[in-house]
Amino acid sequence: MQAIWDAEQGKYVFAVQRGRMPPTQPTHGQFALTNGDPLNCHSYLSGYISLLLRAEPYPTSRFGSQCMQPNNIMGIENICELAARMLFSAVEWARNIPFFPDLQITDQVALLRLTWSELFVLNAAQCSMPLHVAPLLAAAGLHASPMSADRVVAFMDHIRIFQEQVEKLKALHVDSAEYSCLKAIVLFTSDACGLSDVAHVESLQEKSQCALEEYVRSQYPNQPTRFGKLLLRLPSLRTVSSSVIEQLFFVRLVGKTPIETLIRDMLLSGSSFNWPYMSIQ
């Protein structure tokens, strides 16, 4: 995905390189027969993981060369674009994984609205997003609009929580298949309000959890506690405030437009979505 300035619209739009996506995505009824997956196992669940991995809209480099340099201090523009790519990636990935597109659109919106910030943290950890405090503060506009001392302290505490969650995931050396399963477990949550079929969503979360357990058992036989450690990371993702993520990374992009509104628009528009990228002063 590339940010391109549209002079007529007076904003940046993101162009998605569709060539990076598989030409077709098998439906949930097909993947039980998937063969030749990269997991050296042809079971039903490993086929599911293969499709979770194939749904990722970016290659191994994922969100740009900045992510490959953890010590690189990024500028405000780079942080904003990287954050936009990660959010877009989460929605685009969900649109292409098994079962999610078959849900009612209202359920899809409800699930992504609830879990987008958790998916964002997982993507941030996966791409080793640089989390230096100074550019984060700059991106949040604190330098331009000073906060009271108490508010700055509270805001810094939220930044610390975000950093801690990312670092704890990185310390586990989670691989791509595990990240895909963790994101599916997070996404298919029955905690979302107004779901039309709670039991079905619960069954999809259980399927994702079973796939992760089978994968970890086969790929990391010498780490019997690894599966439990991975699952234990998920509840703490909700300690990262979604409103703080908005202020840190997206206020310069979209102003006062709620992220939940953008997520709905991205979901409904698909790859044709134009991000309302505000000019940075």
The confidence score (pLDDT) of residue 142 equals 65
Handedness of CA 135, 6, 64, 97 (dihedral sign): positive
Q: Are 184 and 52 in contact (CB under 8 A)?
A: yes
* CA proximity to 235, closest of 203, 193, 191: 191
- pLDDT interval class at 137 (50, 70, 90): low
Task: Find the DSSP H helices in the chain.
Answer: 44-54, 76-96, 105-126, 133-139, 149-171, 176-187, 198-219, 226-237, 242-245, 251-254, 259-269
Higher pLDDT, 132 or 139: 132
- pLDDT interval class at 136 (50, 70, 90): low
pLDDT digits 0-9 by tens, 43-102 = 657 799 999 999 998 754 445 444 444 455 566 677 777 888 889 889 999 999 999 999
Boundaries of every domain in the chain: 28-271
The pLDDT of 235-245, averaged and rounded, is: 90
- pTM, two decimals, is 0.77
> DSSP per residue over 48-87, as a string?
HHHHHHHT-SS-TTTT-GGGG-TTPPPPHHHHHHHHHHHH
- pLDDT interval class at 226 (50, 70, 90): very high
Cα–Cα distances in angstroms (integers) from residue 66 to residues 114, 227, 229, in the given order: 28, 30, 28
Counted residue by residue, the chain has a size of 281
The confidence score (pLDDT) of residue 280 equals 35
The pLDDT of 123-134, averaged and rounded, is: 78
The pLDDT of 170-193, averaged and rounded, is: 96
Q: Which two tokens stand for residue 56?
A: 């990722």
Q: Are 205 and 167 in contact (CB under 8 A)?
A: no
* CA proximity to 82, closest of 260, 245, 269, 241: 245
Q: Which two tokens stand for residue 91?
A: 């929605």
- pLDDT interval class at 246 (50, 70, 90): confident
Distance CA(93)–CA(112), nearest Å, equals: 11
Please provide the average confidence, as pLDDT, over all residues in the chain: 77
The pLDDT of 31-49, averaged and rounded, is: 53
The confidence score (pLDDT) of residue 41 equals 42
Percent of the chain past pLDDT 90, that is, above it, reads 43
Architecture of domain 28-271: Orthogonal Bundle (1.10)
- pLDDT interval class at 203 (50, 70, 90): very high
